[in-house]
Amino acid sequence: MHTGLFHEIDFEKDQKWSGHLGIPFSIDRSPYFQLKIPIFRIKNGAGPKLLLMAGNHGDEYEGEIALTRLYRRLDASAIKGEITILPFANWPAVMAARRRSPLDEGNLNRAFPGDEAGTPTFRLAHFLEHELFPRHDVVFDLHSGGTSMAHVPCALIERQGPPEMFGHALRLMEGLGMPFAFVAENGASAPTSMAAAARAGAIGLSGEFGGGGTVTPQTMALTARAVDRLLLAVGLVQAPVLGPHAPVERATELLALQSHAQAVFATRRGWFEPAVTVGARVKAGDVAGWYHDFERPELAEEALRFPADGIVISQRLHTDSQSGDCLVQVGRALSREELPAH
């Protein structure tokens, strides 16, 4: 009664259903408190099985808005197969507009494979990796840069699973219609949702669809188009649900994020002034920005330089920075020859 995760999902019934995951977690205000996380299911016969999730981090909003809109618009008769929608995965973080949960300071995307006897974030991660992910063919976890980071809109996969699984993930990722996509090298034991999906036997897709703790018409349009293109690609629907959409203007440009050496980190307190914006094409040695010391204003600012050639994929939005803060990241061009055969 006081541990675990409880739900009333009927995975076999054809229906359009909404309910909650329940995680008991006693708090001062409410000794029999349960964390209630909204979850939706739409099923109509046999077919592809897709899990859509957002709110892994609570201050990333494109996916949360797009997925709740999708559920409201989509009728069971319009699909062939199953869709599970978890639009606010880290519900306490969403409600607090924070990256991490205020209940246990848990970062869901660093909590896999989880712990069924742990705090709520780790219990949820355990349920996702061991019960929900294995029931689906594809897991699409939508992210953005969050409150502190500007991020170029892009799709994302990790280099996970056998070559045929990675190849399928790559094709689906390129089919989302995003201007950029990158392949992350986090390893099979990574604590991320994408690694968890691979361990569960599902194909994992993700992406960074905006940033800054806000949404724009552009980021919402890219998110809606990506969701619809995935629904069409896996064969769940015959027509766009969130559309109509603008046509895809160009093929997705593949990038690699393989090393911490592709980023510039603060090593002391300072105030960061960027020299470029996300999406800029840069060379190693170009000025990335300037680091100011307001406590010693008589000292000249320090020029920070890009460590690698490539595309600026993310950049810190908060000028005031602390040692350890990531100030900017560069994704390098990824050639087809570098990808495994599939």
Please, which residues have CB within 8 angstroms of residue 192's CB and are 6 or more apart in sequence? 109, 110, 112, 158, 186
CB 321 within 8 A of CB 270: yes
> Given 3.20.20.70, 3.10.20.80, 3.40.50.300, 2.40.50.100, which CATH number is that of 263-338?
2.40.50.100
Is pTM beyond 0.75 here?
yes
In the chain, where the domains are located: 39-256, 263-338
**Residue 317 exposure: Cα atoms within 13 Å on the Cβ side:** 13
**Model pLDDT for residues 241-264, shown as the tens digit of each residue:** 999 999 999 999 999 988 889 999
Give the separation between CA 96 and CA 124, rounded to whole angstroms: 18
**pLDDT surpassing 50 at residue 237:** yes
Give the separation between CA 309 and CA 330, rounded to whole angstroms: 7
pLDDT of 1 reads 60
pLDDT of 340 reads 62
Give the separation between CA 112 and CA 131, rounded to whole angstroms: 13
* 339 band by pLDDT with thresholds 50, 70 and 90: confident
Neighbours of 183 (CB within 10 A): 23
Give the separation between CA 299 and CA 57, rounded to whole angstroms: 38
253-257 and 203-208: which strand pairing?
Answer: unpaired
- Assign 297 to helix, strand or coil: coil
Task: Using the CB atoms, write b or e for 77-95: b if 16+ within 10 Å.
Answer: eebebbbbbbbbbbbbbbe
Average pLDDT of the chain is 95
Give 163 or 142, the one with higher predicted confidence. Answer: 142
Structure tokens at 30: 């409410």
DSSP for residue 105: -
Neighbours of 200 (CB within 10 A): 20
**Pick from 28, 24, 19, 88: which is nearest to 58 by CA?**
88
**pLDDT surpassing 90 at residue 213:** yes
Distinct helix (H) and strand (E) counts, the chain: 6, 18
Q: What is the CATH number of domain 39-256?
A: 3.40.630.10
Q: How confident is the model over 116-132, as a mean pLDDT?
A: 97
CA distances to 42, 104, 140, 193 from 162, rounded to whole Å, are 30, 35, 19, 17
pLDDT of 334 reads 86
Give the separation between CA 246 and CA 140, rounded to whole angstroms: 22
- Determine whether 22 is exposed, middle or buried from the number of CB atoms within 10 Å of its CB (0-12, 13-18, 19+): middle
% of the chain with per-residue pLDDT over 70: 98
Give the separation between CA 208 and CA 244, rounded to whole angstroms: 22
For residue 230, which phi and psi values (nearest 5 degrees)?
-70, -45
Cα angle for residues 97, 102, 108 (degrees, 5° grid):
85
Q: Do domains 39-256 and 263-338 have the same CATH topology?
A: no
